[in-house]
């Protein structure tokens, strides 16, 4: 038995996979009532490792004490079978120049198309933003773009929607939404980094409040 210091961005499912155990076993051993909620900075007991195995980070590098979400990683599936990164990649203060560039291009595309009113062309808006930011086009509708994002330029990450919305330039895709068109074509958008809004063919002020969406996947530019 050994311990691991939970870090910002960890999820229980990713840790279970990393240490070759199960979410239920980690939850049982650590008396975690809600496997979807773990806290950075807390120590997690890991079964099946010698006590001499230390997973504790060096002093000064422990978690910040803020809580993580989506501990079971329910949104980490990929249609193409690609691996989901355990790390969430970036916080709002660590966004790369490419991520900020995409967020800016996304807002510009949204304002040039629908402003604050959807035109039903979310994938067109996202594709336009990617082309304006990086010089290449990504084809497909809202629930196809995730498969068409070049994997040498984007990686799928495991995080909650609430956390993704705090980071600029993340690409969001949903398999389905509650509208008639969305049930067929899904939805896609780019985060602005303000913790609430996203952009596609329009600016959606409260993405967290948009209900009826399923099959979320989140991608981060790696250029």
- Domain span at residue 52 reads 2-68
**pLDDT at residue number 103:** 96
Share of the chain above pLDDT 70, in %: 78
Same domain as 103, residue 45: no
pTM (2 decimals)? 0.63
Nearest in space to 172 (alpha carbons), one of 194, 154, 151: 154
pLDDT of residue 95: 86
Q: At what angle do helices 97-113 and 122-134 cross, to 10 degrees?
A: 130
Question: How confident is residue 45, by pLDDT bands cut at 50, 70 and 90?
Answer: confident
Query: Are residue 133 and residue 181 in the same domain, yes or no?
Result: yes
pLDDT band at 91 (very low <50, low <70, confident <90, very high): low
- Nearest Cα neighbor of 161 from 13, 15, 63, 36 is 36
Closest alpha carbon to 75 in 194, 142, 164: 164
Residues 131 and 195 occupy one common structural domain? yes
Comparing CA positions, the residue from 41, 35, 33 lying closest to residue 3 is 41
* 9 or 157: which leads in pLDDT: 157
133 and 201 inside one domain? yes
Question: In the numeric block, which tokens belong to residue 60?
Answer: 């000064």
Report the CATH number that the domain containing residue 59 is assigned in CATH: 3.10.350.10
Q: Is residue 27 part of a domain?
A: yes
Asked, for residue 40, whether it belongs to a domain, the answer is yes
Residue 65 has pLDDT above 80, yes or no: no
Q: Is residue 57 part of a domain?
A: yes
Residue where a domain terminates, one of 31, 52, 68: 68
Evaluate if residue 178 carries a pLDDT over 80: yes
Q: By C-alpha distance, which of 31, 38, 29, 28 is closest to 72?
A: 38
Q: Comparing 53-62, 71-80, 85-94, which segment has the lowest mean pLDDT? A: 71-80
Tokens found for residue 143: 């629930």
Q: State the total domains in the chain.
A: 2
């Amino acid at each position: 038995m050994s311990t691991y210091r939970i870090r910002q961005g960890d999820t229980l499912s990713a840790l279970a996979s990393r240490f070759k155990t199960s979410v239920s076993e980690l939850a049982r051993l650590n008396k975690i009532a809600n496997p979807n909620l773990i806290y950075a900075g807390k120590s997690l007991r890991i079964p099946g490792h010698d006590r001499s195995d230390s997973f504790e980070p060096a002093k000064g590098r422990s978690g910040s004490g803020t809580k993580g979400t989506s501990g079971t990683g329910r949104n980490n599936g990929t249609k193409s079978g690609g691996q989901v990164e355990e790390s969430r990649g970036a916080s709002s203060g660590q966004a790369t120049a490419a991520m900020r560039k995409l967020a800016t291009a996304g807002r510009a595309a949204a304002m040039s198309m629908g402003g604050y009113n959807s035109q039903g062309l979310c994938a067109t808006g996202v594709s336009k933003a990617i082309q304006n930011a990086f010089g290449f086009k990504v084809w497909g509708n809202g629930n196809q773009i995730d498969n068409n994002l070049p994997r040498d330029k984007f990686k799928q990450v495991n995080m909650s929607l609430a956390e993704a919305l705090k980071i600029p330039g993340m690409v969001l895709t949903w398999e389905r939404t509650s509208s008639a068109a969305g049930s067929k074509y899904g939805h896609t958008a780019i985060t602005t980094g303000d913790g609430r809004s996203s952009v596609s063919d329009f600016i959606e002020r409260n993405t967290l409040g948009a209900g009826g969406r399923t099959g979320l996947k989140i991608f981060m530019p790696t250029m």
